[in-house]
């Protein structure tokens, strides 16, 4: 989705030349975008934000992306948000290695929409089953900044996605990530992965022989789910085999490495959950 000038308060980016990406190392949507850039050999300038430190809620960044989310792509002064729109746009502008075959475009866009609908479910599982984020993952002060800064509009319209984001963080602070929320989100993923299994029945990759953006998007999600303790191999062996074949390619692997201290915190979290009987498998009844 390309923003219009009125959506953008940090006007200097409108004069930027070349390809710039605002992203966060560990963000799934950023990883997806970076893998596309890698596969297409596109040169880009990195603007790294640390979401844990709230860099995405600065006046500067909310002036660029009123949703306060990563990634944001700036291409010759055009500001684009929403990772799925960005990867489809990159494929149109850099067709050398096609990742959205024209003939499959409508179906891919439709399936990507379904993937994006599950994004808050992925966040729900992440915030309980990777490293612990504390009782209030985004403080009241941070959320107040988020509410007040930026134009609050996308495409000239009041942005409802921002309200949805605020609600997510306020609920997380109020009641935490509940067992019910874990069950609901996990069941949605289980059903979605069963659909991937059907797509892989006769195909090497989700849309056929070649890798498309849909494969990239789902490898990223599955990578996160497996890190949360989702038993992919046991529940969906065919999907697991396909996932591992792509996950280990250097263009993917380079974007998915986890720093040892972060992995240690995840392992400790899982150990605690095993002792308490609150692993993902136990809570979701898998
Ligand atoms: N639909 C959006 C979702 C973007 C999104 O939620 N990004 C996450 C990181 S994966 C984010 O920026 N979260 C903000 C935060 O954690 O404060 C997209 O695909 O770009």
Please enumerate in sequence order all residues whose Cβ is within 8 A of that of 6, keeping only pairs 6 or more positions apart, or say none. 151, 153, 156
Please indicate whether residue 51, judged by its CB atom, sits closer than 6 Å to ligand 1: yes
> What is the residue extent of each domain of the chain?
5-102, 106-135+176-284
Ligand 1 in contact with 33 (CB < 6 A)?
no
Average confidence (pLDDT) over 202-206: 96
pLDDT of residue 200: 97
Stated pTM of the model: 0.96
User: For position 134, what pLDDT does the model report?
Assistant: 82
Ligand 1 pocket, 227 CB below 6 A?
no
CATH 3.10.20.600 assigned to domain 5-102? The reply is no
| Average pLDDT, integer, range 20-41 | 96
Amino acid 133: pLDDT: 85
Mean pLDDT of the chain: 96
| pLDDT score, position 131 | 87
Q: What is the predicted pLDDT for the residue at 90?
A: 97
- Architecture (CATH level 2) of domain 106-135+176-284: Up-down Bundle (1.20)
List the residue whose alpha carbon is closest to atom 10 of ligand 1: 27
Question: pLDDT tens for residues 92-147?
Answer: 999 989 999 999 999 999 999 999 999 999 999 999 999 888 888 999 999 999 99
Q: How many whole angstroms separate alpha carbon 170 and alpha carbon 164?
A: 10
Asked if residue 8 lies in contact with residue 14, where contact means CB atoms within 8 angstroms, the answer is yes
């Amino acid at each position: 989705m390309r923003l219009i000038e009125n959506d953008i308060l940090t006007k200097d980016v409108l004069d930027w030349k070349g390809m710039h990406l605002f992203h966060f190392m560990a963000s799934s949507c950023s990883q997806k975008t970076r893998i596309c850039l890698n596969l297409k050999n596109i040169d880009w300038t990195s603007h790294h934000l640390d979401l844990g430190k709230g860099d995405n809620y600065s006046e500067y960044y909310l002036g660029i992306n009123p949703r306060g989310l990563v990634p944001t792509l700036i291409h010759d002064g055009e500001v684009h948000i929403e990772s799925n729109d960005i990867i489809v746009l990159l494929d149109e502008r850099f067709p050398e290695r096609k990742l959205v075959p024209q003939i499959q475009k409508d179906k891919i866009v439709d399936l990507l929409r379904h993937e994006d609908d599950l994004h808050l479910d992925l966040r729900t599982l992440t915030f309980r089953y990777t490293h612990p984020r504390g009782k209030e993952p985004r403080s009241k002060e941070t959320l107040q900044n988020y509410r007040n800064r930026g134009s609050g509009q996308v495409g000239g319209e009041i942005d409802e996605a921002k309200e949805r984001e605020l609600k997510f963080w306020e609920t997380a602070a109020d009641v935490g990530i509940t067992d019910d929320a874990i069950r609901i989100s996990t069941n949605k993923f289980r059903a979605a992965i069963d659909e991937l299994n059907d797509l892989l029945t006769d195909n090497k990759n989700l849309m056929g022989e070649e890798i498309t953006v849909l494969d990239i998007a789902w490898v990223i999600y599955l990578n996160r789910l497996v890190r949360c303790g989702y038993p992919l191999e046991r529940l969906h062996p065919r999907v697991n085999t396909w996932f591992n074949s792509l996950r280990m390619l250097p263009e993917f692997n380079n974007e998915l490495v986890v720093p040892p201290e972060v992995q240690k915190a995840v392992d400790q979290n899982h150990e605690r959950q095993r002792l308490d009987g609150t692993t993902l498998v136990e809570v979701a009844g898998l």
